Amino acid sequence: MTHFANSLRTGPDARGRFGGFGGRFVAETLMPLILEVEAAYRAARDDPGFQGELDRYLRDYVGRPSPLWLAERLSAALGGAKIYLKREDLNHTGAHKINSCMGQILLARRMGKTRIIAETGAGQHGVATATVCALFGLPCTIYMGAVDVERQKPNVFRMQLLGAEVRPVTSGAATLKDAMNEALRDWVAHVSDTYYLIGTVAGPHPYPMMVRDFQAVIGTETRAQILAAEGRLPDAAIACVGGGSNAMGLFHTFLDDEAVRLIGVEAAGRGLDTSEHAASLERGRPGVLHGNRTYLLQTADGQIEEAHSISAGLDYPGIGPEHAFLFEAGRVQYVGVTDDEALAAFQLCTRTEGIIPALETAHALAYLTTLAPEIGPGGVIVVNLSGRGDKDIFTVARHLKSGSPGGADLGDIL
């Protein structure tokens, strides 16, 4: 039962705004195309045939529903609430990203588009995009910052194996923000045949709404699974936030359930009070970038600053506009977790549950150290285990070798 006067689940409005955030801040050349994507998406959403087709692909190709796993040893290790892991890492391609890719590729086909472009940070969205493009025989170009190409080599190779062209982006800091700039430039130059498959709940309207809708399957399944397992809703649901798609996917169904605490974990990098983090909400200010108004890391002059995180997927100076809205509304609590805390949680999850989480996901897991004792025995927490960490083992090895206690052995092996 909701105690809110109005639902928080109704956004965005007709202009694509969640409160004061979102919108469509794109060049005129793209504007007609953005409107076309919106019209096509609304028509698809209302078409039972489209939903039926998507459901079939999600079940038989992606492998949904994903399990909700009671992590008993992790719960015991943290000495508090019962912890459930929503196993998005078990999806085909190893992360939640494919949920939205599948929806968007079906939409692109409906629109008659014959070429796909995407940006990627950690490479998970790039791999998922390359995968659905292989499945449907569409050529695809993935923009990836040159720095990320270097630190996510396994995913670069996977994309290439799948037939995608990976274009390293060297402008700016050569990370996710710059990859998104370059993808937008490509789209402007190829408006007639190309669909831009955005990987997160950001960008111009309708992307934040559409990607959220496609990811909302995470929360919808979780709600049914936790009711079946515990006979009640969880006390808290928690997810890491870069652009914020896995978090919106988990949170959306619970927004009007006031008793469910929702917690988004931003990357605090080397610390929130250093200049090296990716905490757009906790340390940023509202502004306009990549088609939407949202919280951004920026200078006093409005120049966008580089983010920092050990995790390439969280290394972005902005955040989806719906998160900005939920932050200001106070509905979701946003906290920061540092690189070191994420590394420790990465190891803890691996050794207690036999699950190697993505470094992005490890940020959400790290906050359990605070949250599980706080909620206490008898309580129930759901964590979105948004992706698997095979792609990160070299990064982790490098960091453990360089001096994190307890990690020397593993570091020496690699």
Partner 1 sequence: MSRIAARFAALRAEGRGAFIPFLEAFDPDRATSQAILDGMPAAGADLIEIGMPFSDPMADGPIIQEAGQRALKAGATLAGTLAMVRAFRAHETTIPVILMGYLNPILAYGAARFCTDAAAAGVDGLIIVDLPPEEADLLAADAARAGLAIIRLVAPTTDATRLPHVLDGAGGFVYYVSITGVTGTRSAAIADLAAAMPPIRRATDLPIAIGFGVKTPAQAAEAVGIADAAVVASALIETLAASLEDGRAGPDTVPRVLDQVRAIAQAIRAARR
Residues that bind partner 1 (CB under 8 A): 15, 23-33, 171-172, 177-178, 181, 184-185, 188-192, 285-291, 296, 298-304
User: Min. distance of Cβ 260 from partner 1 in angstroms?
Assistant: 34
Nearer to partner 1, 82 or 177 (CB): 177
| Catalytically annotated residue among 38, 88, 113, 119 | 119
**Residue 319 beta carbon to partner 1: minimum distance, rounded to whole angstroms:** 15
Q: How far apart are the C-alpha atoms of 239 and 109, rounded to whole Å?
A: 31
Which lies closer to partner 1 via its Cβ, residue 86 or residue 205?
205
Quick one: 193 or 412, whose CB is closer to partner 1?
A: 193
Active site residue 341: no
Minimum distance from residue 184 beta carbon to partner 1 (Å): 5
Nearer to partner 1, 40 or 239 (CB): 40
> Is 119 considered catalytic here?
yes
CB of 298 to partner 1, least distance (A): 7
Active site residue 177: no
Q: Which entry of 309, 322, 386, 391 is annotated as an active-site residue?
A: 386
CB of 131 to partner 1, least distance (A): 27
Nearer to partner 1, 243 or 287 (CB): 287
CB under 8 Å to 338, separation ≥6 — which residues? 268, 269, 270, 271
Catalytic, out of 82, 97, 113, 391: 97
Nearest approach in angstroms of CB 403 to partner 1 is 33
Which of 179/332 has CB closer to partner 1? 179
Active site residues per annotation: 97, 119, 386
